[in-house]
Amino acid sequence: MGYIHLTTAQAIIKWLENQYIEIDGTEYRVCGGGFGIFGHGNVTCLGEALNTRREELPLYRGQNEQSMGFAAAGYAKQWLRQRFMFCTASAGPGTLNLVTAAALAHANRLPMLLLCGDTFLTRLPDPVLQQMENFNDPTFGANDAFKPITRYWDRITHPAQVIQSLPNALATLLDPADCGPAFLGLPQDVQGWSYEYPEVFFEKKVHRIRRQSPDTEEIKDAAALLKGAKRPLIIAGGGVQYSRATKELNDFAEHYNIPVVETIAGRANMLHEHALNCGPIGVTGSNSANALAEKADVILAVGTRLQDFTTGSWTAFAKDAQFVSINAGRFDAVKHRALPVVGDAKLSLNHLSEALSYETPTEWSAFAQDERRKWDAYVDENISYGHNKPNSYAQAIGVVNALCDPRDRVVAAAGGLPAEVTANWRTLNLGTVDVEFGFSCMGYEIAGAWGTRIAQSEREPEKDTISFCGDGSYLMLNSDIYSSVLSQKKLILLVLDNGGFAVINKLQNNTGNESFNNLFVDCPTIPEAFGVDFVSHARSMGAHAEKVANPEALKEAFQRAKDSEKTYVIVMDVDAYEGWTAEGHTWWEVGTPEVSENDAVRQGHKDVEAERVKQRRGV
């Protein structure tokens, strides 16, 4: 056996460049490259190693570590978790800036490799610049903050450890059940230490993502329960797409004529025009989906973790409704006394179809179609403009939806826009919607779109990535407009300005509270509010930008954006109070004051609590 003398950092990068995955008959490096900001904790050793492999593993220079992580998440989503990016940051605050992004990846079950600087293993220079000292445990540092929000965590204290740690980290990143971020802490001295590595460690390896077959008895139990259903319903989650099971989902639904509703992560599992697509479910859902959920007696949940926006904090369903949950992860499959089918969605749907003899009652199908027609009519009215209607999110969404290419990718994240996109967007092609609401992170809109565009340009460079962003999210994290221009990864960014955090102001008002500290005009510490010139700001980062007065003008501007070769920002003011999607919402549990001097707040508490009678309590 031959050996090769390398530093720890060089070995990590050399190993990564030789890991491949087969997708649709084509081999790709499983790691598409990385996002990096260098500092004293990673520039001299890991930076040297990356520089020698700049062609094999391209490194995108970030502007902010958190946004780098968001970009890596967008990349992983676009590749359906089959490929990932790494993020590298320096020791101390640089690495800690990745904590929120790691949490987003953990909540969304997304692969992301974090290669982060750490303090010196020898401790000879302690305390060093940016070190977070623990008085009672010198081994406990800032990087330990990643332990609860990563699926794999290791601190490399000897060069030989990467021989075991790297394969384990990659196995986690590619495991459908355990998928999530993997963290490797790299002490600054250990990065540069060398070791005689066996050459076979760096041989090319082609990986495949495991498809776990479901248990035969679980399939039998699921088929028996579904066979007795009078009002069956399918909830399609994001796991359907990660399993590449959209065809199987559509085939299953069509074979048994079962209506389908989508979660936020599961948007674009079915085309809008599909007769069985009955809309999005839950807090940001549709009247049609929620009417079906309220009456369904057996619910087949596929690839969803059933978070509160899907379940209406568990008020969206009849208390005696029974769940069958198909999920690659046992943790998600057993929630709320569901009958679990632990396995890959594609395989499980096929096995269940073979075991099931069933036909949906015609009266239930007719009810579903009637509800769908009514919701379609509502959306038609909701996205319409003119007749002195105020500018709204829904109108902007409708304009873009009518003009975009069916294969364009749509991105939205925290705030009011995810709800509006979820409710009003009409899917033109499967897998073309990314609404980040798993961890609901403001700032994902631009950074996540940049990562999405990098991935999209590797397979469909002629299509566009379109991001809907509120003014609040723009102000929070906008620097990847500059990143997209520098890297020549064009984005189309719709900045819809309603003067602050308007959706939280709406929640504030809906619970009886007065407007306070959300809209700029309602901040007591702001003597005189004024609007930001987003057009000039975007232009200063190299993008084309313009402001439009209304949805009619947006149509022409969007066409100019489509024709542009670089990032294009379109700004439109929208009303903070009028024009919201008012229908389709289930109850959502939020904490409200039991005691208040304000009559409206006390009444708001009573109104919220009055709906709690519908809530399932884990059974």
We report the CATH number of the domain holding residue 312 as 3.40.50.1220
Kind and range of the H or E run holding 423: helix 416-424
Domain that holds residue 196: 3-207
Q: Are residues 565 and 417 in the same domain?
A: yes
Q: Are residues 233 and 178 in the same domain?
A: no
The 10s digit of each residue's pLDDT in 348-390 is: 999 999 999 999 999 999 999 999 999 999 999 999 998 889 9
- Classify residue 101: in a domain, yes or no: yes
For strand 194-198 and strand 3-7, is the pairing parallel, antiparallel, or unpaired?
antiparallel
Q: Are residues 265 and 227 in the same domain?
A: yes
Q: Are residues 274 and 349 in the same domain?
A: yes
- Classify residue 588: in a domain, yes or no: no
Q: What size, in residues, is the chain? A: 619
Report H helices in 52-207.
65-78, 93-96, 99-107, 162-173, 188-192
- Classify residue 540: in a domain, yes or no: yes
- Global model pTM greater than 0.95: yes
Sign of CA dihedral 560, 561, 562, 567: positive
Q: Are residues 371 and 488 in the same domain?
A: no
The 10s digit of each residue's pLDDT in 472-500 is: 999 999 999 999 999 999 999 999 999 99
- Classify residue 193: in a domain, yes or no: yes
pLDDT under 50: residue ranges of the chain: none
Q: Which residues contact 266 (CB under 8 A, 6 or more apart)?
A: 235, 236, 237, 238, 239, 240, 241, 303, 304
Mark which of 332, 348, 375 sits at the end of a domain: 375
| Residue 189 burial by Cβ neighbours in a 10 Å radius (0-12, 13-18, 19+) | middle
> How many structural domains comprise the chain?
3
We report the CATH number of the domain holding residue 457 as 3.40.50.970
Q: Are residues 149 and 257 in the same domain?
A: no
pLDDT for 169? 98
Q: Are residues 222 and 191 in the same domain?
A: no
Adjacent-strand bridge partners of 468:
494
Mark which of 207, 241, 266 sits at the end of a domain: 207
Q: Are residues 371 and 387 in the same domain?
A: no
pLDDT for 618? 67
Mark which of 207, 232, 262 sits at the end of a domain: 207
Kind and range of the H or E run holding 573: strand 568-573
3-class SS of residue 278: strand
First CA to last CA across the chain, in angstroms?
Answer: 59
| Interatomic CA distance for residues 342 and 427, integer angstroms | 29
- Classify residue 41: in a domain, yes or no: yes
Q: Are residues 221 and 203 in the same domain?
A: no
- Classify residue 593: in a domain, yes or no: no
Q: Are residues 414 and 529 in the same domain?
A: yes
Q: Are residues 370 and 228 in the same domain?
A: yes
- Classify residue 346: in a domain, yes or no: yes
Q: Are residues 436 and 522 in the same domain?
A: yes
| Residue 542 burial by Cβ neighbours in a 10 Å radius (0-12, 13-18, 19+) | middle
- Classify residue 393: in a domain, yes or no: yes
pLDDT for 388? 87
